[in-house]
Chain A
Amino acid sequence: MTDIPNLLKQLISTSGLSGHETPVRQLIEEAWKPLTHELTFSRLGSLHGLCCGAGAPPRPSILISAHMDAIGLMVTGIADGFLRLTSVGGIDARILPGQLVTVHGRQDLPGVIVSLPERLLPPHLRGQAIPLEYMLVDTGLLPERVKRLVRVGDLVSFAQQPFETAAETMVGHTMDNRASVAALTHCLSELKKQTHAWDVWAVASVQEEVTLGGAFTSTYQLRPNLAIAVDVTFASSPGSPSHRTYPMGEGPTLVMGPNIHPVLFKTLKETAERLEIPYSMETAPRHTGTDAYAMQIVAEGIPCMVIGIPLRYMHTPVEMVAIKDITRAGRLMAEFIAGLDADFMSRLTWDD
């Protein structure tokens, strides 16, 4: 049985910004090796783990995806030993000053993000939110050494150490979406305990935060019959509007909307109810903002489902998630997969 809190701690302590996921992929590979029959990579670097089903070939397959890439920052220039920055993925620059970071140069360097003091800012910005282009990373090193070790295009990741709170929640950066990678891992270890007729492709996808590139390309390559994306969703938290958030610690969300095949939604919902796994219903009237948005429209089209793990303070270095929601999402998926029989596809019709 995989120790989920421990795995999650490792997952978020390993770098893997969008487009540069290799370090974290190696860690996931290790975790999935005992749980899968075969591990391969896509040409863009997504990890594909295959668990063969027990059904008679040719077996249908389901793809379960969690993106492994992280948001972060990138060096755009070097000025007197300070580093200029741009973001990789969506970051609210207002939370950056004072954040600890790691600069991935010729060697890893600790640094801190600082903003120009008000007296050095252009007059129109005084008293305003300071844009990222007026922030710098200070590594404490002398300019010559910085110049030797860092170049334009180097990555900068958050260095906030993960920790657990008293309430069985974990805090750290990149819970989006390593929490879902942990859920996928939990699903795989649950599947190991039972038989499933279908083939299962577990995918740790790349570049979700920028282009959904991993989801588009891996789905094209694997051509599953069904696909599920697991991603984080907004948990109720102070200051966030109640009608756009879901409770943390009270189970995953099951998403419905045009991105989701209604029969998949219904089946997942029934599975959760049968197993008494708590869940919230999440509506996505247009776009789910997950890998499923890409997977659904690959090739001839793939029926998709989205499972959300409620998370507080998304895209900050102190994202908070309940461990129980992760294991519930994993178990729910495993039970759903175990229930897929050879005829499921024929029941996946449009209820007109």
Chain B
Amino acid sequence: MAKTSSTETYSPPRIGAAQIRLLERLCNSAAVSGDEGAVRKIVLEQVRPFADEIQVDALGNVLVTRRGQGKKCLRVMVDAHMDEVGLMLTIDEGNGIYRFDIVGGLDASVLAGKAILVGKERIPGVIGFKPIHLTDAEERKHPIAMETLRVDVGPAANKVKVGDRVVFAAPFVRLGPSLRGKAMDDRLGVTTLIELLKNAPKNIDLLAAFTVQEEIGLRGARVAAFALNPDLALVLDSTPAYDLPTWDDSENTRYNTRLGGGPAIYVADTGTLSDPRLIRHLIDTAEALGVPYQIRQPGSGGTDAGVIHKQLAGIPSVSVSVPGRYHHSPVSIIRLSDWQNTLTLVHAALTRLTPELLAAERA
């Protein structure tokens, strides 16, 4: 088991104004799966002073090594995906109107009537929808069909072309104890991972993977894990909080996670059965430090761990998420305390990692 460290001497990295500003910059950047350049640029600029090695691989993952002190440090991959869900323009129908296809999990109801930004030049546009006056009662009973929607940048904008990616245009704001913005999934993880690199524990080789194409099948993480060949992996993501009232005010038993409940530790999702040794280690760490945590409700959904743990001859893996409401929509809402507690838990857990943890067989 891990060594216990004293709570008095341990001081975790803090989430302050600078970290929030960095998150804001990252959230406001556009990085639809397969076109992550804008976020990659910020990541590279941020991590360069702290990296022993940096590589941008064939898919565009940013792989950063920061070595620990000592000869045989545990090689720990910490992963956060840079990409976000969005759209891609597929057909130019003329007059600034474009057909599009979705990239990642988005449904038509969150698209209709929203402001958007198109392409690297961030050309503003809309996904309009016909006025209610022109719909009939029967039509309004059915969900909006994706095929009826178009991107509209206006007839004069010829800076837009087929292949361009589209993201929601939504401002980042602080709301008391919360933050609201687009692409919290997973710019929160990216920002947290940058902070970990800046304050890297000395007892491990920290292998930071800022991955691409998570939202379209965990594609970046797969090759990243192969290249890094770590002893274990920890994935930082942001998972939905469905902690809303139920329609009949009965007990909500399907909340997935709750805002304010602390970092969400994964036991089982569609892609991964987390390594029980690592789950235990995270829980022990949280309890030793008095950091609140929650177990993400086992069930559907997934993270990059789904491919990482199956790479090579197997990589013990676990995921930790900051809970967030309304992911895959123009804005998410997250709680600052959850973010701070996630950073604290993960940083402390890494600091307390020893090779003995994996010497015991998986339960």
Contact = CB atoms under 8 A, between A and B. Distances in A.
A18 B219 CA distance: 25
Interface residues on A, range: 20 to 34
Interface in A257-304: 257-259, 261, 281, 283, 285-287, 296-303
Interface string B26-41: 0000000111011011
Contact of B33 (A258, A350, A352): A258
Contacts of B38: 352
Nearest to A226: B58
Contacts of B219: 258, 296-297
A258 B162 contact: no
Contact of A258 (B34, B40, B44): B34
Contact of B88 (A243, A283, A303, A351): A283
B287 interface: no
A340 to B, nearest CB: 16
Contacts of B56: 349-350
A284 B89 CA distance: 10
Interface string B76-118: 0000000000011111000000010111100000000000000
Given A285-B102, A350-B60, A256 B163 contact: yes
A258 B34 CA distance: 4
A260 to B, nearest CB: 8
A352 B58 contact: no
Interface stretch (B67-75, B171-179, B220-228, B355-363): B220-228
B40 A350 contact: yes
A151 to B, nearest CB: 36
A258 B58 CA distance: 12
A291 to B, nearest CB: 15
Nearest to B215: A286
B58 A303 contact: yes
A301 B59 contact: yes
Contacts of B102: 285
A286 B89 CA distance: 12
B99 A243 contact: yes
Contacts of B213: 258
A258 B223 contact: no
Given A283-B88, A297-B222, A258 B163 contact: no
Given A296-B59, A301-B58, A303-B58, A257 B40 contact: no
B237 to A, nearest CB: 19
Point out which of B34, B35, B41, B57 has the most chain A C-beta atoms below 10 A from its C-beta: B34
A352 B103 CA distance: 20
A256 B34 CA distance: 10
B226 A300 contact: yes
Nearest to A260: B34
Interface string A317-350: 0000000000000000000000000000000011
B147 to A, nearest CB: 9
A296 B213 CA distance: 12
B34 A257 contact: yes
A300 B216 contact: no
Interface string B1-45: 000000000000000000000000000000001110110110010
Q: Mostly helix, strand, loop or mixed at chain B's interface?
A: mixed
Contacts of B88: 257, 283, 285
Given A296-B219, A300-B226, A301-B57, A352 B162 contact: no
A350 to B, nearest CB: 5
A257 B32 CA distance: 11
A243 B103 CA distance: 17
Nearest to B41: A352
Contacts of A351: 37
A302 B104 CA distance: 22
Contacts of A259: 34
Nearest to B218: A297
Contacts of B41: 352
Nearest to B161: A281
A246 to B, nearest CB: 11
A301 B63 CA distance: 13
A303 B162 CA distance: 22
A297 B223 contact: yes
Contact of A299 (B44, B61, B87, B223): B223
Interface in A221-256: 243, 256
Contacts of B44: 352
Contacts of A299: 223, 226-227
Nearest to A304: B58
A148 to B, nearest CB: 45
Interface in B138-180: 162-163
Nearest to A257: B34
A258 B226 contact: no
B34 A302 contact: no
Interface in A82-122: none
Given A258-B35, A350-B60, 16 more contacts: A243-B90, A258-B213, A285-B102, A285-B103, A286-B33, A286-B101, A286-B216, A287-B216, A297-B219, A297-B223, A299-B223, A299-B227, A300-B223, A300-B226, A350-B37, A352-B41
